[in-house]
Amino acid sequence: MAYLNFLASVPAPHLLAYQADRSSSLKASKIIGVSHLLTSWIQQQPLGNMLAAAIDGGVELSADLWHLLRPPKVHLVEAVKSLTAKIESAWQQATNSDDIFEDEEFFRPQIENLIALFRHACEHEEAIVSVLEKPADSERSQKVELPDFGLSQNDD
């Protein structure tokens, strides 16, 4: 089963407040969801490695948080800047190649959304938090704690 991975652009003050007191909301300025398959199904390099780093890389958001596959992670502002340049370069290389990657119609919009989120975070000097959705089974799902991003159902 593939998990949905939430990526959120978060202002540094909100990140620090959340890390100091996890009962507070982790207010995101922008949030997207992408398939966790992006971390392993894109074989075209360096794009595959850059997507894996963007989604699964970073430092732990909080030692108290848990998920079956990996804990929530965060890329701090400087890491976001560096990763954005690398992802954009890898994407440009991939799109200029004659070698179309597998399931391009499924992955292309997700990759483009991920790049747009990283650009947004760069422009606003924000961190990016990466969180996997809860497992489907209720026993493990109850053990998972995810941050509240402070977005309503209608926010983009």
Find the domain containing 83 and state its range: 4-135
Does some domain include residue 49?
yes
**Within a domain: 14:** yes
Report the domain count for the chain. Answer: 1
Q: How far apart are CA 121 and CA 114, in angstroms?
A: 11
Distance CA 102, CA 74 (A): 28
pTM of the model: 0.88
The reported pLDDT for the residue numbered 101 is: 64
CATH of residue 33: 3.40.1760.10
| Within a domain: 12 | yes
100-135 pLDDT per residue, tens = 666 778 899 999 999 999 999 999 999 999 999 887
- For residue 50, pLDDT over 90 is answered with yes
